[in-house]
Amino acid sequence: MRIVVVGAGRVGFSLCRRLVQENHDVSLIETNEERARHVSNRLDCRVINDEGNNIRVLEEADINRADALVCVTNSDELNMIICGLAAPRYPRLVKIARVRNSEYARFRRDEHQTKPAKSAVPAESKPAAAGKSAVLGIDHFIYPDVEVARWVLNAVDRGAVGDVLAFPETPYELGSVDIAPGSPLDGLSLTDYRKVHPGESLVTLVERGGGSFLPSGASVLAAGDRIHIFTRGEEMEALFKLASGSGPALRRIGIVGGSQIGILIADGLLHPEKQEENLAEPFNIPVKGKGIIPLLKTLRPKNQRRVIIIEQDYELSKELSARFPEALVLNEDISDESFVAEERINNLDLIITATNHQELNIITAVYLKSRGVGRAIALAAGTGYGIIARQLGVNVVVPTEQVVVDSILSRLAGNAVRGVHRIGDGSTGIYEIEVAPEAPVAEKPITEFKISSGGLVMLANRGGDSFIPCGDYVFKVQDRVIIIAKHGSEKEIEKFFAVNL
């Protein structure tokens, strides 16, 4: 696949690196000379140091031969303008724009209604009308704050002891949690796993000593391992407790940072019933200041939940107080030790650090846990910081870059691909695929699906019914399957399912 990326910030660089690793033909446009040089020295892709909002520069990047254009500059308006420039000349090109302004996010509703082409299939095979149905010439809007807030709320809903990845239209989730010393899973061979947890679940990945592996029945779990468990959502909390031990209910929750992500999280915690209404019409984006941006996972109602929001900016604190009268909003510096003691912040059951500075988020989470806070969720940019933060005791680390990149890649994937995710240290992928009539696996038993580096079909969804497939499972056309596989297996998966990853 040929892809033109505009913007070499954190997300742009991470996206290009993933695309190059998966053997796509990438051209990157970046106006900042230092950033352009940084990418050129580290990635095997074409880099153009110029303005992306210039049709001549886009043509220099061979946009006429590209399958997709992804704009991830720091400017919402610039991202939309560049897509708009390309739209009339290249209607078959899939155009993706990252936006942060909630006013622009309302276009997601239009995206849902027009149902533009989802995939970046070769231009020769795409219908000419696909580009015309897009909003402002843009096929997909990526709203990163919503994606990140949804991740946080998923984790809170499962006790904030591990990460949770939910799969749409199925009751199953993938959770990751550390095994505590002395837990029933410490020293357990997976051949005996059913004796400890007889329910329907799979241990799909084990992280150990800086690496990760797909376990077999002979694998033995140990304290300090981070395991990724696939199970029904209602069983996830029990499995987390089995691995890490039970903790107190999350009654008192603190949010550090009144950014847009912090607002979304607070709204989701305080107004779960509002999300029930919004999710009935998934892309109904309310006007600014009147409720949460939807698409967040609905939380189960919790009784007697108290939310404290800590924000250092005085004017923003006043706005938050007006918006959330049921919350306690404190205009304070979280690093002030006297403030932590006076306001009894150390008695919180959970702290969520959601400022725009990843180092501050991690340090604050670690510090407050050392002062007695029960559990901590921290936002961090990349998986590298996430590994460090977990080693320091942060329960859940949300890799914001990875969340956004996964969202973009899911929209770049072929028609039959519903989602692409990276988990663990980034060396393992999760692929949501619909079995097409031309797929070689169609009408074949699962025993014929073998990946050289190891892989597993975790779930099959047939006619709305989801189940973990057994050895007698046969792939049927229109089945939706979820596969876990190590990086480097993409070509084999593409061959089995006749898709572009």
What residue spans define the domains of the chain? 2-142, 146-155+250-400, 169-244, 413-497
Q: Minimal CA–CA distance to 398: which of 151, 159, 131, 173?
A: 151
Q: Print pLDDT tens along the chain (501 aa).
A: 899 999 999 999 999 998 998 889 999 999 999 999 999 999 999 999 999 999 999 999 999 999 999 999 999 999 999 999 999 999 999 999 999 886 765 655 444 444 444 434 333 333 333 334 456 789 999 999 988 998 899 889 888 888 888 887 889 999 998 899 999 999 999 999 999 988 889 999 999 987 899 999 899 999 999 999 999 988 888 898 899 876 668 889 999 999 899 999 999 999 876 644 433 333 333 333 333 333 334 444 444 679 999 999 999 999 999 999 999 999 998 887 788 777 778 889 999 999 989 999 999 999 999 988 989 999 998 767 777 888 888 989 998 998 899 889 888 876 667 778 888 777 898 999 999 999 999 999 999 888 887 889 999 999 889 999 998 999 999 999 999 998 888 889 989 998 877
Annotate 69-120 with DSSP letters as a single string.
EEE--S-HHHHHHHHHHHHHH-TTSEEEEE---HHHHTHHHHHHHH----S-
CA-CA distance, 162 to 126, in Å (whole number)? 41
Domain 146-155+250-400, CATH 1.10.8.60 — does that match?
no
Query: Domain 169-244 belongs to what topology?
Result: Alpha-Beta Plaits (3.30.70)
Query: Domain 413-497 belongs to what topology?
Result: Alpha-Beta Plaits (3.30.70)
134 neighbors 114 (Cβ within 8 angstroms): yes
Q: Tokens 């988020």 label which residue?
A: 361
CA-CA distance, 29 to 6, in Å (whole number)? 5
369 neighbors 389 (Cβ within 8 angstroms): no
121 neighbors 498 (Cβ within 8 angstroms): no
pTM of the predicted model, to two decimals? 0.77
231 neighbors 199 (Cβ within 8 angstroms): yes
Q: Tokens 């981070």 label which residue?
A: 226
- Residue 294's pLDDT is 34
Q: Tokens 């009147």 label which residue?
A: 290
Q: Looking at the domain that runs over 2-142, which CATH code has it been given?
A: 3.40.50.720
Q: Which amino acid is at 199?
A: G
- Residue 81's pLDDT is 95
169-244 and 413-497 have identical folds: yes
